[in-house]
Amino acid sequence: MILLEDTVEINGQDIRKERFGLAAHHDENKTFTGDVLFTSQVRSQFDKSIEQKFEDAVLVDGIVYWKSNGAIPFADMILDFVQIEAITLMEGELSIRTRQEDDSNFWKEYGLPVKGDESGTVTKNEAVRRAFERRDERKARIEEVA
């Protein structure tokens, strides 16, 4: 297990460990999501550990994706994957940066301003088409690897 600092800064984003949640009772157990890291720590049949959640993810070309929809998990989940050593910190950083770029592209394509971007926008229909194409490409790649 790798115990990360309480706050991690990646690409201008500060990600903080939760003060609440199942894992917050002791400082050494704090996680970014608030969920416990390992299945042995689960106290209820309704809870899932980060270890169990990683079973629903896949690493493709150094980036973590959910198998179900091809989306990149949020930064807090990715950093908890790093803490259980399911992925490296470098893979976590790449995943978080890629998610940030995806989010920025999403907003640009829908015609909403993105700080630092002066490019033009596309129609909503074109944006939706591009989003579905990216999703389908990712899901096909995930199926190849998984």
Average pLDDT over every residue of 69-93: 96
With 70 as the cut, is the pLDDT of residue 35 above it?
A: yes
Please give the distance of CA 132 from its chain centroid, rounded to a whole number: 19
For 82-133, the DSSP string reads HHTTSS-HHHHHHHHHHHHHHHHHHHHHTT---TT-------HHHHHHHHHH
| Structure token pair of residue 34 | 């608030």
Residue 81 or 27, more confident: 81
C-alpha dihedral, 110 to 111 to 116 to 120, nearest 10°? 120
- The residue among 12, 13, 15, 11 whose CA lies nearest residue 83 is 15
Average pLDDT over every residue of 69-87: 95
- Residue 32 CA to residue 5 CA, distance in Å, equals 10
Q: Provide the residue type at 101 as one letter.
A: E
- Length reported for the chain: 146
What are 114-139's pLDDT values in tens digits?
A: 455 555 555 667 767 777 788 888 88
- Residue 30 CA to residue 83 CA, distance in Å, equals 11
pLDDT of residue 132: 79
